[in-house]
Amino acid sequence: MSNLESAPGPQITVLSGGVGGARFLRGLREHVRAAYPDGSGGSTASITAIVNTGDDMWLTGLRIAPDLDSIMYTLAGENDEVRGWGRLGESERVSGELRAYGVGWDWFTLGDLDLGTHIARTSYLRAGLTLSEATARITSRWDLGVRLLPVTDDEVETHVIAQSGEDLHFQEWWTRHRATVPVREFVQRNLSESTPAPEVLAAIAEADVVLLAPSNPVVSIGTILGIPGIRHALSTTAAPVVGVSPIIGGAVVRGMADACLSAIGVATSADAVALHYRSRVDGGVLDAWLIDELDAELAPTVEAAGIRASVVPLWMTDAPRSAQLAADALAAAAP
Ligand code: GDP
Ligand code: CA
């Protein structure tokens, strides 16, 4: 191998939620393997994902971490592409038994293979490991090509305070009520006492580039940004910070993020989300923002807010398009 080929690729840190983040990370991994090959199928670039843990919960005695698991299954090639979440070839025999005992949430099905992950995680936590340590052990089973860091080891769960005053775990609002219950506010429990997990702040400070995946701006990226210390790390890192819009043509691509945005008074549009994140020169977190070709006319509004806008296709319909989106995000970091 020549020196050129073995030159180390960039250290890339990605802020990520579950399904949208997972697709983006898979594309980014494919891109860096092609652009910075290490000669043995991997890459000299390194990818670290800082993952939302606000959707996590205790259920049936087990610690569930939906976003970490969505990413792990997707990168391992073990995800159910048709259903859009969970494990490939999943069965639900254990859930049937739990239902018969009246244990857990009958509207929240845990697959048998998925339960294996939750039991492993809980076993590590019960043995005294932190969530970061448990995640490192669990993910070491697969060749992910991405280091997964939960944003915090503390239990900072997102709750929805309904307009009626009722307090729901985010998962109850999202999965049981399909985001239809009117929201007064989103609350992150234990937020002020929480700290970023070890390695998280360094992953931002020492990165060559930081990317915001096209994840839910409120309950995925918003939750990560809420952990004390994260915003400061983003505002002080020497790395450029580039975000990818999860909104195309005034609509969410998949899921119900629009319900979250309207609850915090942000329009479901690519420019409104950029302005919500704000420019780093203006106390926010973004240097550059990727919007879809369908939203090209929004570029001047984004630029006027001090954020460079790149207009590129944002639909991650297949592996090559997801890899191209990742390449475009890296290109936007170094204009
Ligand atoms: P969750 O934790 O499983 O809800 O997933 P994330 O928070 O990571 O991502 C959810 C967001 O991904 C949604 O708001 C979608 O609009 C966005 N998304 C999903 N697929 C695509 C895609 O192909 N392109 C873009 N730009 N955004 C996407
Ligand atoms: Ca999530």
4-78+139-156+190-331 has which fold? Answer: Rossmann fold (3.40.50)
Give the pLDDT band of residue 1 (cuts 50, 70, 90).
very low
User: Which residues make up the environment of ion ligand 2, defined by Cβ < 5 Å?
Assistant: 17-18, 55, 67
Averaged pLDDT for residues 277-284: 97
Residue pLDDT, tens place only, 173-199 = 999 999 999 999 999 999 999 999 999
| Cβ burial, residue 134 (10 Å; 0-12/13-18/19+) | buried
Q: What pLDDT, on a 0 to 100 scale, did the predictor assign at position 255?
A: 85
Q: Whose CA is nearest to atom 1 of ligand 1?
A: 18
Ligand 1 centroid – CA 253 distance (Å): 6
Q: Whose CA is nearest to atom 12 of ligand 1?
A: 20
Q: Does the beta carbon of 216 sit less than 6 angstroms from any atom of ligand 1?
A: yes
Q: Which ligand approaches the C-alpha of residue 158 most closely?
A: 2
Q: Whose CA is nearest to atom 11 of ligand 1?
A: 215
Q: What pLDDT, on a 0 to 100 scale, did the predictor assign at position 232?
A: 97
Q: Is the pLDDT of residue 64 over 60?
A: yes
Give the rounded percent of residues in the chain with a pLDDT score beyond 90.
Answer: 93
Q: What pLDDT, on a 0 to 100 scale, did the predictor assign at position 84?
A: 85
Give the rounded percent of residues in the chain with a pLDDT score beyond 70.
Answer: 98
Residue pLDDT, tens place only, 11-34 = 999 999 999 999 999 999 999 999
CB atoms near residue 33 (< 10 Å): 18
Q: Does the beta carbon of 319 sit less than 6 angstroms from any atom of ligand 1?
A: no
Residue pLDDT, tens place only, 121-177 = 999 999 999 999 999 999 999 999 999 999 999 999 999 999 999 999 999 999 999
Q: Is the pLDDT of residue 108 over 80?
A: yes
Ligand 1 centroid – CA 40 distance (Å): 31
Q: What pLDDT, on a 0 to 100 scale, did the predictor assign at position 127?
A: 98
Q: Which ligand approaches the C-alpha of residue 85 most closely?
A: 1
Indicate the top mutation candidate among 71, 215, 273 to test ligand 1's pocket, ranked by most ligand atoms within 8 A of CB.
215
